[in-house]
Amino acid sequence: MFSALIDIDPARLRVTARTAIASCLALGIGILIGLDHPQWAAMTVWITALPTRGQRLERSLARVAGTIAGALAGVGLMALSGNYPAGIIIGLTLWLGLCAGIGNLLTGPASYISLLAGYSAAMVALLGYGHDTSLWMLAVDRVATICLGGAVGTIVALVFSPKTQPVDISRRIQTVMHACLDHIAAGGTDRAERARLIREIAALDENLDLASAGSLRVRRQARDIRSLFSALTELLLDTPLSRDRSPVAHEGKGDLLTRLNQLASQMEADCPQRAALLKALVPLWQRANQTAEAIGPVPERHAPIPLHRDWICARYAALRSMSAVAATGLVWIATGWSLGPYMVMGAAIMTSVFSTFPNPGLQMRWVVGGSLSGASAAVLAHVFIMPMASSTGAAVLLTMPLMLFGMVVMAHRRVGLAGMEYNLIYLLMMNPNLPADPQVGHALLQAFAVLMGPVSAYLAFVALPVDARRRLDFVIRLMVHELTAMAKGAFDSPGRHRHWRLRLYHRLVMLVRWGERNGYGGDFATDGGMGTLQLGNSLHVIREMMAEGVVDARSKRALRATLLSVAYLPRKPERVEKALRRAARNLQSAYPENAARLDETAALVAANQDFFRRAG
């Protein structure tokens, strides 16, 4: 029992201790310079506490940008609503839904800025309701506290946090490049090796944001690296129709540029498609490599690759934030409760912040527990500790032990997930500038109002759930949806088809990422992705043949039936398989190459029926 209570991670405790001290420092400076809500600066230090200095700097800058946008939106919302609760709730519902949806479509700092702009508007509008303080002064105070907290947190990060070592990423990229070339030179028939390589590419893609955090130069370089990953994935998924894939001679791990050119030359005659893909890798490797200047002149940049955007998760996030804010807002309007804004504000913050987490429903259980602990500590401070203070400075010093307790909770191996919410809720309820209110009833009502926000957010995540398994299904659903659109002619132009292929490679990386978190092997994602790619290419060929009008009437009917069968792919993939085989038989005599393509596609559809059914 005692060992469970003291199950503290020493390394994590050092990090949380530095953050806690920085939080107290930001709170003290905020009081000294006369900020109205100095606790917001202390909250910012905790929120921007990330492992590396680059991440922390990036998060701090993004928080300032999002706060300014949100503060302006909050002021505008109050002006448009005339300070009426109904107008505030309607405006916040629409604004939160928009920001949460966009935040789930974007990635990196842009996503955080969008989410923060949403709930910062809620904080300005709701905390400004019913107060004589100038709304503009409240917005300025909000921005000033965020800037202060971000500055203090960044200084601490620059002094104490470890610096990211991008050279590790560079070495891993070279290693996976050599492994891919070895795989291609050997014939590309080892399915297990191909799956392993794509898993490694997915892991590298996930680490790019960490490696590039805090540096615009490295972030630009990360876009080049993702272009390289896309081309590598295309090369790994390329499967010539011929089953004879003889290995070619290769000279071990020499210079990558030399190996690419040699391998492309050796495959020029037998596998021209692979040779072309290998040649396309040369300029991408030149840009992605950290020593590009030593390699030689670099061609002009290609257009950025189209990335996967999870429209389904974005829609869920928007509806979740809108429903939680609307529900708590209706309770506030119906009851006229003076503490109602705290309830709405909590729902707005929680449904926005946690919408991008892999498993927010599970996370929200810890959030509710941590919020309950933080609110209880705040009630204790309001009723018993703050009345003993003779000044604002004394109030800070007396309540600081409860602030520092949060660092211990966060460092605990079992309950650490609740530590962040303990800190944030405690600070949210503590404003040393306010006169002490020892009334137990008022303190408990305030705690109840604050707790209703996380509880309502948790219920929203239960009603509209999202987790790693669903995210995997959402990616598959989007891929299958595009196949049905392709069968109807949505991707007939060469440019649109190329755009689809490039986005599919990035979606495959996402598939592998979510598949790994769900316990699926690499074969599930890579085989499903290959089946999707081959089916999409075959549909494009069928559309071209139909448009050219070169097939006979019987074959044309079989091809049209194949296109119509794709609508049943999520429910009856076997129907698509049969239609493809029927069309292949009709094309066998006049178009043997296309018939072989459709037969191979039918085999891939048959082998990946479980994959396609997940889109149903």
DSSP string, 50-65: -SSHHHHHHHHHHHHH
Local confidence band at 80 (pLDDT 50, 70, 90 cut-offs): confident
Give the pLDDT confidence score for residue 236 in this predicted structure: 80
pLDDT of 295 reads 35
Residue 347 is predicted with a pLDDT of 92
Query: Within this chain, do residues 50 and 122 fall inside the same structural domain, yes or no?
Result: yes
Quick one: 86 and 47 in the same domain? yes
116 lies in the same domain as 171:
no
Is residue 429 one of the residues assigned to a domain?
Answer: no
Q: With 60 as the cut, is the pLDDT of residue 134 above it?
A: yes
To which residue do tokens 């030593």 refer? 294
Strand ranges for 101-181 from DSSP E: none
Strands (E), 394-480: none
Q: Which residue has better confidence, 598 or 263?
A: 598
pLDDT of residue 506: 82
Contacts of 373 (CB under 8 A, 6+ apart): 409, 418, 421, 422, 425
Query: Is the pLDDT confidence value at 240 over 70?
Result: no
Average of per-residue pLDDT across 416-423 = 85
Q: Residue 20: which residues within 8 A CB-CB, separation 6 or more? A: 403, 404, 406, 407
Residue of 157, 143, 180 lying closest to 64 (CA atoms)? 143
How far apart, in whole angstroms, are the C-alpha atoms of residue 205 and residue 189? 24
* 55 plus 204 within the same structural domain: no
- Asked whether 193 and 522 are in contact (CB, 8 A), the reply is no
Give the pLDDT mean for 282-293: 63
Q: Is residue 301 pLDDT above 60, yes or no?
A: no
Whether residue 21 is found in the same domain as residue 91: yes
Query: Cβ distance 581 to 606 under 8 Å?
Result: no
Q: Is residue 405 part of a domain?
A: no
Token duo for residue 612? 């396609």
- Check whether 244 has a pLDDT greater than 50: no
Q: In this structure, are 15 and 160 located in the same domain?
A: yes
Q: Report if residue 392 sits inside a domain.
A: no
Residue 371: inside a domain = no
Residue 141 and residue 230 in one domain: no
- Classify residue 161 by burial, with Cβ atoms within 10 Å: 0-12, 13-18, 19+: buried
If asked whether residues 151 and 221 sit together in one domain, one would say no
**Residues 559, 499: contact at Cβ < 8 Å?**
no
Give yes or no for a contact between 511 and 472, defined as CB atoms under 8 angstroms apart: yes
What pLDDT was estimated at residue 247? 54
Question: Encoding tokens for residue 325?
Answer: 């804010």
pLDDT tens-digit series, residues 433-457: 666 566 788 888 888 998 998 999 9
Residues 528-582 have pLDDT tens digits of 888 898 899 899 999 988 888 778 888 889 999 999 999 999 999 999 999 999 9
Residues 103 and 29 in one domain: yes
User: Please, which pLDDT band fits residue 215 given cuts at 50, 70 and 90?
Assistant: low
List beta partners, residue 412: 8
Q: Do residues 272 and 332 both lie within one domain?
A: no
**Higher-confidence residue: 210 or 519?**
519
Residue 291, pLDDT score: 39
Q: What is the pLDDT of residue 297?
A: 40
Query: Regarding predicted confidence, which is higher, 581 or 281?
Result: 581
**Contact yes or no for 580/558 (Cβ under 8 A):** no
Same domain membership, residue 150 and residue 11: yes
Considering the domain architecture, whether residues 57 and 105 belong to the same structural domain is answered as yes
Which amino acid appears at position 80 of this protein?
A: L
pLDDT band of 315, cuts 50, 70, 90:
very high
Residue 221 forms part of a structural domain: yes
Phi-psi region of 492 (alpha: psi -120 to 50; beta: other; left: phi over 0): alpha
Residue 70 lies in a domain: yes
> What is the per-residue pLDDT for 40?
85
- Does residue 553 lie in a domain region? yes
* % of the chain residues with pLDDT over 90: 23
What CA–CA distances, in Å, run from 194 to 1, 163, 197, 325, 602? Answer: 48, 33, 5, 47, 21
Quick one: average pLDDT of 74-80? 87
At residue 3 the predicted structure's pLDDT band, cuts being 50, 70 and 90, is: very low
Asked if residue 372 is part of any domain, the answer here is no
Domain region containing 279 = 167-243+250-299
Q: Provide the pLDDT for residue 62.
A: 82
- Give the mean pLDDT of the chain: 82
Tell whether the model's pLDDT for residue 245 goes beyond 60: no
**What is the band of 243 on the pLDDT scale with cuts at 50, 70, 90?**
very low
Q: 609 or 414: whose pLDDT is higher?
A: 609
**At how many degrees (to 10) do helices 108-128 and 53-81 cross?**
40
**526: nearest Cα among 239, 227, 323, 284:** 239
Dist CA 32 CA 111 (whole Å) = 33
Q: Which residues, at least 6 apart from 420, have a Cβ–Cβ distance to it below 8 Å? A: 46, 370, 410
| Overall number of domains in the chain | 3
